[in-house]
Amino acid sequence: MEYIQVPNLPEGRVGLAVVDGRISPEAEDTLRSLGMELIRLHPHPGLYDAVCCHPDMVLHHVGGNVIVYAPGTDAEAVSKLGSYGFRMVMGESILTPKYPYDIAYNVARVGKWYFHNLKYTDRRIREYMDRLGIEPVHVEQGYAKCSILPVDGNSIITTDRGIERAAAKKGIDVLYVECGDSIRLPGLDRGFIGGACGMISDTVCAINGSVEKLKGSDPIISFLSSRNMTIVQLSDECVTDIGSIIPLALADPSN
């Protein structure tokens, strides 16, 4: 198995990803039809229902075969990831439902940077980032991964103005979009662009729903197209935040 070296940015076609265990059957079937194996997360007891199965709330792929996960994360999923050779490192931060004590693992890695409200980043994640020489970028938005769709090592799409400003200062190409309530998150008034998407190859972005039902879709399509990337929509339903599609390993090229 070839692990993805730079989190969120596969070097080729993805063969293994972590998703919300409540992903719709249509979206799951679409991903599996593309040759992906999915590890579905069951609820985390420390989080409220809307986000309790969201991968980006409970784990952070450091890169390669290293994953930092929150205490209380679905034991079956942790064990299965371990069976694939991932080094599963338990973080120190205990997740609880009240903000900001639910955000410790919602860290957005973009190439040589990582974005988060650094006052609340899990210590294990910070240690790995320091060891790897990954530069921290402080933003007030605690749900950084939810709010960022990493497109390549120097490009992102975000729905957060603070993230837009911070990224631009680093020389990152940023597309800010206002999707409003066109991204659903059952139990809350709206979801996030990063949480509704994920790169499933170096040239394909998957969106959990219909692009036509997403506000701001035209600039998103243009931004991706300018980088020779396309979109796969996973269903014909409204776009829904599922806590990101987190790619972990590449598909076997012989399949």
CATH of 14-248, one of 3.30.565.10, 3.75.10.10, 3.30.450.40, 3.40.50.1000: 3.75.10.10
In terms of Cα–Cα distance, which of 254, 250, 255 is closest to 65? 250
The β-bridge relationship of strands 148-152 and 155-158 is antiparallel
Question: Would you say the pTM of this structure is higher than 0.95?
Answer: yes
Domain spans of the chain, in order of start: 14-248
| pLDDT tens sequence across 54-107 | 999 999 999 999 999 999 999 999 999 999 999 999 999 999 999 999 999 999
Element holding 221 (H helix, E strand): helix 217-225
The Cα–Cα gap between 101 and 145 comes to 15
Position 254 scores a pLDDT of 79
